[in-house]
């Protein structure tokens, strides 16, 4: 009778490296990443990074680079009761609470002692929630809602007036993403509503 046995040795209670990530701040924006994107991150790294969004602002988090061991090493973020994974090229809008109070988001990266990769880099872009210029000139091809961003902050009300143009007709193309049932876009002409997004097909 033959008997074969295989023994795997797993090291328990491995010391974790807590300084394996870095934050670079500049011009009001900042980046959080693993320290060495060229040579890769260390084994058994754990990094924590908190972002607080104040009232009247929002932050766009862009996953610019991400190469980690699939299904083992973890790059995630938390807020309220949510625990969500992050993926390459994700773009996440971090907002304050709906009542206007500040809201904190928690980002965590954790690696095991097995496979190493280059790591990750997340850029955070702050946006002051200010409406764009209220006057739209005739030669303005694109006019965003917010002053310094392509996305809209919550709980804002912006109004715009289009300049009188020499052309008899004006073509208006309205584009919106991440639109919800409580958002509303209206267009007035001579005091009459000519477009209402709530009734648009």
Same domain, 148 and 185: yes
Phi, psi of 92 (to 5 degrees): -120, 130
With a cut of 90, say whether residue 64 has pLDDT above it: yes
Same domain, 182 and 118: no
User: Is residue 17 within 8 Å of 45, Cβ to Cβ?
Assistant: yes
The pLDDT score that the predictor gives to residue 109 is 94
The pLDDT score that the predictor gives to residue 16 is 59
The pLDDT score that the predictor gives to residue 142 is 80
Does residue 81 lie in a domain region? yes
With a cut of 50, say whether residue 136 has pLDDT above it: yes
Q: Give the end of a domain, one of 76, 110, 128.
A: 128
CATH number of 45's domain: 2.60.120.290
Same domain, 137 and 41: no
Average pLDDT over residues 175-196: 81
Does residue 2 lie in a domain region? no
Same domain, 117 and 187: no
- Total domain count, the chain: 2
Does residue 147 lie in a domain region? yes
Q: Which of 80-89, 118-127, 128-137, 186-195 has the lowest mean pLDDT?
A: 128-137
Q: Give the end of a domain, one of 128, 163, 185.
A: 128
Average pLDDT over residues 143-156: 73
With a cut of 50, say whether residue 9 has pLDDT above it: no
Same domain, 113 and 199: no
Average pLDDT over residues 85-101: 89
Average pLDDT over residues 78-86: 93
Same domain, 37 and 70: yes
Boundaries of domain holding 59: 21-128
Same domain, 122 and 32: yes
Same domain, 123 and 177: no
Name the token pair of 30: 């900042």
pLDDT confidence band for 77 (50 / 70 / 90): very high
Does residue 1 lie in a domain region? no
pLDDT confidence band for 66 (50 / 70 / 90): very high
Considering the chain, what is the average pLDDT of its residues? 82
* Torsion 56-82-35-64 (CA) sign: negative
Q: Give the end of a domain, one of 106, 128, 150.
A: 128
Euclidean distance between CA atoms 39 and 117, whole angstroms: 8
The pLDDT score that the predictor gives to residue 2 is 63
Same domain, 135 and 177: yes
Query: Helices H, strands E: what count in the chain?
Result: 0, 13
Average pLDDT over residues 102-128: 89
């Amino acid at each position: 009778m033959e008997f074969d046995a295989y023994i795997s040795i797993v090291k328990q209670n491995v010391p974790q490296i807590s300084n394996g990530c870095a934050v670079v701040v500049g011009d009001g924006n900042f980046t959080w990443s693993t320290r060495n994107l060229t040579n890769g991150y260390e084994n058994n790294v754990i990094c924590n990074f908190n972002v607080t969004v104040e009232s009247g602002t929002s932050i766009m988090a862009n996953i610019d680079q991400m190469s980690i061991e699939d299904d083992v090493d973890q790059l995630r973020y938390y807020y309220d009761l949510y625990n969500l994974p992050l993926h390459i090229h994700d773009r996440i809008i971090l907002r304050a609470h709906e009542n206007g109070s500040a809201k904190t988001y928690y980002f965590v990266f954790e690696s095991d002692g097995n496979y190493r990769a280059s790591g990750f880099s997340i850029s955070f872009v702050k946006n002051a929630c200010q409406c764009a210029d209220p006057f739209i000139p005739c030669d303005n091809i694109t006019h965003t809602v917010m002053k310094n961003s392509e996305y809209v902050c919550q709980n804002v009300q912006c109004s715009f007036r289009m300049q009188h143009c020499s052309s008899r007709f004006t073509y208006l193309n309205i584009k919106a993403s991440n639109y919800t049932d409580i958002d509303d876009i209206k267009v007035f002409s001579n005091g009459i509503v000519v477009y209402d997004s709530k009734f648009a097909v």
